Amino acid sequence: MATVEPETTPTPNPPPTEEEKTESNQEFDTVEDFWALYNHIQLSSNLMPGCDYSLFKDGIVPMWEDEKNKRGGRWLITLNKQQRRSDLHRFWLETLLCLIGESFDDYSDDVCGAVVNVRAKGDKIAIWTNECENREAVTHIGRVDKESIVIVYQSHADTATKSGSTTKTRFVV
């Protein structure tokens, strides 16, 4: 079972907490249920800046502080704002299909979920893993996702303590 968290609505003041951003959770157990849900939500490329979608395994909250996430990290795909119309939807759908199809082979259990962030300056798609020190698992997951995209892996701890807009990259595939 997995949970999909639909778009959030940005508010002018004050900014919403992570818990408030997850306005609505939808669950599905089958591929058919996934498609029924997916076909009734906006495409990621049509979301307003400030909105996110996330797909996480049942019982995992899309927050760094969640017990299953806090020792993990993420493979990150960064898109400039011009790529929103051409690539964002396709990359996000490919990521979702990798997750629900357990395309990561023996390392599917190492994947917690994925997030797409739509922002004014550019968009991000991230696959979250549960253990940043497991090089074999995280590089395999990154290779599967890579196909036509250069992606970097960052630990949540490094991201939380970054200075400026850059985070230390641990692995590149």
Given pLDDT bands bounded at 50, 70 and 90, which one contains residue 8?
Answer: very low
What's the pLDDT at 62?
93
Q: What gap in Å lies between CA 25 and CA 22, rounded to an integer? A: 7
In whole angstroms, what separates CA 166 from the centre of its chain?
18
Q: How many domains does the chain have?
A: 1
Question: Percentage of residues in the chain with pLDDT exceeding 70?
Answer: 79
- SS3 of residue 118 by DSSP: coil
What's the pLDDT at 21?
56
Q: Which pLDDT tens digit goes with each residue over 111-151?
A: 999 999 999 999 999 999 999 999 999 999 999 988 646 45
What's the pLDDT at 85?
87
For residue 117, the domain's CATH number is 3.30.760.10
Range of the domain at 164: 2-172
Give pTM, 2 decimals.
0.75
